[in-house]
Amino acid sequence: MRFSNEEVRDLLKAWIAISIAFAILLKGPDFIIRVMVAGLTVGLGFLIHELSHKMFAQKYHCWAEFRSNDFMLVLAILMAFLGFIFVAPGAVVLAGHRIDYRRNGIISAAGPASSLILAILFLPLDIFGSGLMQMIGNYGYLINAWLGLFNLIPAWNFDGKKILNWSKAFYTILVVIALVLVFGRGLVG
């Protein structure tokens, strides 16, 4: 993958802001530990989600770079102080003559799919871990499962709308997996 200095700056800025916002909401140890836990779980989830879009876009020879939305990053931190959060840190911007419904759908599916895979990878820590490791596993599992489901909303500029325009079958598979992960957690462990 190729990165510009502006993209690296925007990715780091969004990762830090997201980590701070979610650390404000987290219950548990001191703030620095909460920032580290949020950075590892939410921040890493954000980064992998966005880089998955970028990787597939570049596979199709598209120009693709993440651009942060600074207003939304500040808003996320301020909202966290009110006890809730809505994060729209930015997006991978695409350009290229080869972006049709199929490719756009695959590029869009890469983000939520990576979030769901990451949730599954955090699950063993949630089930078998203890103390801080279980906190990381639980938070990593829950936030990435929700991130995957949230991005599958089939409206506006969410990934779900682009995936649904490309393949109803693949969209349905992702939604079912996301729903099982989000709402079926009580059945595991």
Closest CA to 136 of 146, 123, 147: 123
Residue 22: predicted pLDDT:
94
Q: Are 122 and 137 in contact (CB under 8 A)?
A: yes
Tens digit of pLDDT for each residue in 45-60? 999 999 999 999 999 9
Q: Work out the pLDDT band at 29, boundaries 50, 70, 90.
A: confident
7: Cα separation from own chain's centroid: 17
Q: Which two tokens stand for residue 183?
A: 């709402």
Mean pLDDT of 125-131: 94
Distance CA 139, CA 133 (A): 10
What's the rounded mean pLDDT across residues 148-152? 96
Kindly list the catalytic residues.
50
What rounded mean pLDDT belongs to the chain? 93
- The confidence score (pLDDT) of residue 156 equals 86
Mean pLDDT, range 1-12, rounded to an integer? 95
